[in-house]
Structure 1
């Protein structure tokens, strides 16, 4: 903590020495309309900026005295304004001598987009703009899987559980946010798989260190999804996608805004369905000859994996008012039905096990960038309450083969005598009709105080309360009416200080976080009919502190170096502690918090513009020292395969990302990235002093080398005048990796083979700009693609999507 405050006071002293003046204003055309993207710069060339859509500009870090400001609009003469600076803040408004008549088609703009500004704050972050991607038949998870350092791992097709990995840290070490609030605030059925991509403005991927305004205990990184907030216009759009495996996805989204009162009504809905009946094959996919027991490896269709989800989200309130940028009350309803095809691996085949769930949620949100009329204070408040009901059905004992048939029994003479059954009475353990009720309360408060142009303080507080009640009519009568309950209370407080100085070339931040968690389990068990009822009552409290530092320095206009350092914790989530039978996930009440020291060092080169060519390169290196890593384990017994989360000692991860962007004439765009994350087991001896055989082995069941390449070509007027056609292709590579520790076993160890997946697509926007048609082919070479413990993902697939903007 002492080092934290030393750094704090050091930065304050630097900034006090460097304070200078600020000029702001609005540039308008002769007809009083705002001049968007006009260049405003000093005559000596040391400072420049661009106006926004409202004509507003801002130049900071100016010395006192006489300055000549130049204003240049595309294709027009430069105009000058002389100003005497004798105060910290000077307002200079200017009306140009002409109106906007330019065709901007051939203009190259070098101003920083929102995405570029985010990427140059000192954090290792990718900011992904979704405007064009949203028109394709891809989901948010597909987009993330193409981002450097990110690996999306799924248990199967549409609707399967998704695991996120960023630079070698995975699972719940990666936190997901929607508009800065934890995704659990929106209910379990509201996920990145169900959010329509045409509702998303951009996605921010933070690697390792996460800004304090994202209130949470993310340890390995965070994904923040920013939804569109076009409050001040009326709109209605819809989309429909159809494709392989009987997949259907439909969305609708609209916004109603009254300019006079500020009343805002915003809504969206979605529907997803898929049979997920794609073909699988390999050493876990076989049928058994009933009389001899001989096995035959087959290429089989998944036959019990259908998925349906639907839901809507409605917000009503007021926006764009003097007293609030946003005051909304919201409601969400969503439901899903999912058949479960197999256990933790593909060797345990199911034919009847299924789960259904419904989520109801209410929320309130308040945002104001000028709280109580002060432009220095911004406030962001959010709260929600959700109730989820989950029903798990597993009551048939029959054993299935991958041909979709029950395994039949025969006498020695060949006559059938019935079917093989699990001794436990059900496919994944004891028969169950379990109903679980999960209640989640979330409250988040965030505020930023801007002391001046150089200094700002941010504070954030997040509180989450989780309650799960379990009921099962098939449990023994002695414990059926007793209440099984799981509680979890989690609070996270963060405070940070930001400094921008040396003419905005140096951006630094320091932050501190405090973590608190209380869990309680009340559970009744009965081993058999003769045994007594046992009460398992567990209570545990955890408190921890974390801190970090970020810095970005613009050495040259096209050369930026940035670094971030963090010592942080992440608390186990309810799913890891309490399990989830619907996912064959066992509880582990003894999980400890995961700890990690994270260091990032990166450089950004560009954007370089020469003629019609544009190039940008980003390089990031990282080091992660992780203790008590929480990760999935696999346990096998005689009747089923289940998983649980465990604390897996310590790991050291080192690696790097390289991102390359190239554009020619803004028509041909290439994005490529390579990621290497070398995560190795770093505990030599166990608690009894015995040596681990896999000490310094690469982490098992985890990819360590990935690469992605995306090529896009945009053509105007190709099929119709005023139309736009985009051709795209994407190539993804995952190097082979061991399923278990590489030091265990001899030749023939299980590996997850190298995967090379190719996608192609074409998107055509018709002349009226309201209708877009896209065709996509996924995994066109039908490569065998695996994830968690050799769970196979879909092969070759084709999709068509229609986007229609009604108004």
Structure 2
């Protein structure tokens, strides 16, 4: 392994001598209709001489990065329009306002050969095992971000209910916080659940970046199993978009997004807001949904509706400052505010329903961002971000009532509290976040990058229901983290070979109190821990042919525990574990991508990745012996290996079909216990973890059937997850608890009116009303129907 690593280093430095410098800039603009001046979405934009290109987005705009200075032949095509062909002269400043006008064609275009590479393709061909999800084509659908991620190869999304429920992500067998979620490059946990992947509507999202295993230092965090980076919309034109979705279980989702920029001085204002509401009163049934029959005293299984699972969240993000000026590409003062209310229907399983337990959470996150390309000298780019996140969470569970699954009060608990003792606690969190990213391009083929994120987290609170001296929530709890990374990127052989070398330092310290109970009293004891770890790695890819790319990446990665894992989270029924240790993993990926292959009107792309993860001290969420509370613990040694694959096919740019599948073999590899005895679970498959899944997505464009220029599409999604055991597979009887096989189908249709301002969609989720479980004994919603309207005001 070490010899191979140094071989790649040697190959990298050999390639440096063969690299040649060439100025490359950005060409961007828009495509419009010559008669109406309306922007035209989803046009093919190509630079024929470079075999490079992309597509216009839903607003008709396009961006082609890394275009060499000089003259190039640009070709733009779209069904129903005559092809556009013209030579453009690209200067050192690039082109930022190219306007291309298309005229209607009286003759249908028989064949459009897309010979360029989109930004998605360019990202997938890098050395990292990465994928970009463009939200433009699904923005008008009643679809959630979690659904889009669950349709991506190698990713498994496990939800515990309807809209607003707790969610767990897994990439290639590693799950929980080993997979880090970012919003615009900032770790999502600092925003709180009210402004998160669960609450943000797809209309506010530009794109999603997914990294599997090895993560670039530019994200500046301790992602061990992979990372998901959600990029919100940052329109620079004057825009205002609105959407409203209504559907089953009294679900409502509203989103508004707008931007204004003064072209004279660069003054920019951006704003977005959202509102989500759902009763989540869907029907549940099964072994854990039981009610005592008052006539005969027997406990019977029933079909009942959830009655204490409501969810409400709203929030806004405001940016004000300057963009694209001489002194800054971006200088923005921002504010994120959000709030939520969430009812809690049950604990770790559905066997005991709650009738009044609920929590609220709100946050205020002011921040300042400064970005400048070519600062002081050409090639020096700087990106600085500073913020202070204020979060407050209140959990209320004081009732003495006991509820059954009909929502009826059947008894009384004199002590109060539905999930243990009575709780009326408030938790206040404050986090100072400083992030920097500095890169220097010696030329277009050699780039040095230094990045990092430094956070100072504090938590305190109080429990109004705690006994005298027994309130542990007001103890001080502090975590300081520092993750610094240095990387060197090189491209060689006319950009056929791309290599990235990097090192990272992970430092953290914990300062907190924990309580012991003896002699009828609570005794607070201080606990301080600190640690420094290092990681390193390489990501490389090589174009064997114009269509075949092979990729390899490897790293030693470290993942530090997050506050909720160490200190617990009462709102999510999670208790503390101050003894958690960092996870350490040896990650490797080997993959290839073939495509796009064109055969007449047919297009095909195939990509696959073999992965290997050797993890020490994996942090895993477990359930206590009573089955009502969660806690996080270290597992000794875990080995995960497997494969994920994705196939993309389209016919004549009308029929689009995607198949993605993943298999991982994740095993517990700690052979002996701390006492020297043989571990009973050695070499067993990791408990409560899915290992085989696949998704299919199909979309068909029926616009040709319309006399107008509107766009009509129908789409179908299918998700399959094979059954897996709740506990260890090697112990227990033959009828061990399992999470059953999932086979879920969604169907929908959308219509975009001419001029691209108004769009309507109708979606049916869980078409066949299957009983769906992502977690043991926690049922997800059945069939639901949703209607959505989207309107571009200007």
Provide the TM-score with structure 1 as the length reference. 0.89
When the two chains are superposed, the root-mean-square deviation of aligned CA atoms in Å is 2.9
**Counterpart residue number, 1:65:** none
**Counterpart residue number, 2:623:** 634
Query: Do the aligned residues in 1 keep the contact of 2:289 with 2:302 (CA within 8 Å)?
Result: yes
Alignment of 1:359-758 (within 5 A): 359-372=363-376, 374-407=377-410, 419-421=411-413, 424-478=415-469, 483-523=474-514, 531-637=520-626, 641-716=628-703, 718-719=705-706, 721-758=708-745
Deviation at 1:792, TM superposition (A): 1.0
The superposition leaves residues 578-630 of structure 1 with CA deviations (integer Å, 9 ceiling, x where unpaired) of: 00111110000000111111110001011011211110000111011111110
The superposition leaves residues 682-705 of structure 1 with CA deviations (integer Å, 9 ceiling, x where unpaired) of: 112111122222221111111110
SS in 2 for 1:213: helix
Deviation at 1:526, TM superposition (A): 5.5
Cα distance in structure 2, aligned partners of 1:92 and 1:190: 37
Question: Which segments of 5 or more consecutive residues in structure 2 lack a partner in the other structure?
Answer: 35-42, 56-61, 77-82
**Counterpart residue number, 2:235:** 230
Deviation at 1:389, TM superposition (A): 1.5
Alignment size in residue pairs: 763
The superposition leaves residues 418-477 of structure 1 with CA deviations (integer Å, 9 ceiling, x where unpaired) of: x242x6531112212111111111110011111112211111110111111121222223
**Counterpart residue number, 1:196:** 201
Larger radius of gyration between Structure 1 and Structure 2: 1
Cα distance in structure 2, aligned partners of 1:564 and 1:13: 17
Cα distance in structure 1, aligned partners of 2:554 and 2:184: 24
Deviation at 1:99, TM superposition (A): 8.9
Question: Which segments of 5 or more consecutive residues in structure 1 lack a partner in the other structure?
Answer: 42-46, 61-67, 82-88, 408-418
Query: Do the aligned residues in 2 keep the contact of 1:27 with 1:51 (CA within 8 Å)?
Result: no
Deviation at 1:672, TM superposition (A): 0.6
Describe the shift of the 1:605–1:546 C-alpha distance in structure 2 as closer, same or farther (beyond 3 A): same
SS in 2 for 1:428: coil
1:351 and 2:338 equivalent?
no
1:317 and 2:321 equivalent?
yes
Within the candidate set 58, 65, 73, 2:67 is matched to 58
Cα distance in structure 2, aligned partners of 1:686 and 1:596: 20
Query: Do the aligned residues in 2 keep the contact of 1:759 with 1:779 (CA within 8 Å)?
Result: yes
Alignment of 1:110-259 (within 5 A): 110-231=115-236, 233-259=237-263
Provide the TM-score with structure 2 as the length reference. 0.91
Deviation at 1:751, TM superposition (A): 1.2
Query: Do the aligned residues in 2 keep the contact of 1:720 with 1:767 (CA within 8 Å)?
Result: no
The superposition leaves residues 230-270 of structure 1 with CA deviations (integer Å, 9 ceiling, x where unpaired) of: 21x10111110000000111111111111111111111111
Query: Do the aligned residues in 1 keep the contact of 2:751 with 2:761 (CA within 8 Å)?
Result: yes
Cα distance in structure 1, aligned partners of 2:294 and 2:461: 39
The superposition leaves residues 185-228 of structure 1 with CA deviations (integer Å, 9 ceiling, x where unpaired) of: 43442101221211212111111000110110000000011222
- More deviation, 781-790/249-258: 781-790
Describe the shift of the 1:558–1:544 C-alpha distance in structure 2 as closer, same or farther (beyond 3 A): same
Cα distance in structure 2, aligned partners of 1:24 and 1:517: 40
Within the candidate set 22, 30, 39, 2:47 is matched to 39
1:298 and 2:302 equivalent?
yes
- More deviation, 2-11/341-350: 2-11
SS in 1 for 2:681: coil
- More deviation, 423-432/684-693: 423-432
Deviation at 1:406, TM superposition (A): 2.1
Cα distance in structure 1, aligned partners of 2:244 and 2:687: 40
Deviation at 1:493, TM superposition (A): 0.3
Alignment of 1:2-17 (within 5 A): 10-11=10-11, 13-17=13-17
Query: Do the aligned residues in 2 keep the contact of 1:4 with 1:510 (CA within 8 Å)?
Result: no
**Counterpart residue number, 1:328:** 332
- More deviation, 435-444/774-783: 435-444
SS in 2 for 1:364: strand
Cα distance in structure 1, aligned partners of 2:27 and 2:195: 43
Cα distance in structure 1, aligned partners of 2:221 and 2:85: 50
Describe the shift of the 1:501–1:346 C-alpha distance in structure 2 as closer, same or farther (beyond 3 A): same
Query: Do the aligned residues in 2 keep the contact of 1:443 with 1:464 (CA within 8 Å)?
Result: yes
Cα distance in structure 2, aligned partners of 1:386 and 1:738: 39
Query: Do the aligned residues in 1 keep the contact of 2:505 with 2:532 (CA within 8 Å)?
Result: yes
Deviation at 1:58, TM superposition (A): 3.3
Deviation at 1:789, TM superposition (A): 2.8
Cα distance in structure 2, aligned partners of 1:131 and 1:148: 19
Within the candidate set 273, 286, 289, 2:290 is matched to 286
The superposition leaves residues 42-94 of structure 1 with CA deviations (integer Å, 9 ceiling, x where unpaired) of: xxxxx65459958987349xxxxxxx98746465789799xxxxxxx997999
SS in 2 for 1:10: helix
SS in 2 for 1:492: strand
Describe the shift of the 1:510–1:721 C-alpha distance in structure 2 as closer, same or farther (beyond 3 A): same
SS in 2 for 1:784: coil
Describe the shift of the 1:77–1:179 C-alpha distance in structure 2 as closer, same or farther (beyond 3 A): closer
Deviation at 1:27, TM superposition (A): 9.5
Describe the shift of the 1:100–1:641 C-alpha distance in structure 2 as closer, same or farther (beyond 3 A): closer
Cα distance in structure 2, aligned partners of 1:55 and 1:190: 31
Query: Do the aligned residues in 2 keep the contact of 1:144 with 1:152 (CA within 8 Å)?
Result: yes
The superposition leaves residues 353-374 of structure 1 with CA deviations (integer Å, 9 ceiling, x where unpaired) of: 11112211101111122223x3
Cα distance in structure 1, aligned partners of 2:151 and 2:618: 25
Describe the shift of the 1:27–1:242 C-alpha distance in structure 2 as closer, same or farther (beyond 3 A): closer
Describe the shift of the 1:541–1:481 C-alpha distance in structure 2 as closer, same or farther (beyond 3 A): closer
Cα distance in structure 2, aligned partners of 1:545 and 1:128: 31
**Counterpart residue number, 1:86:** none
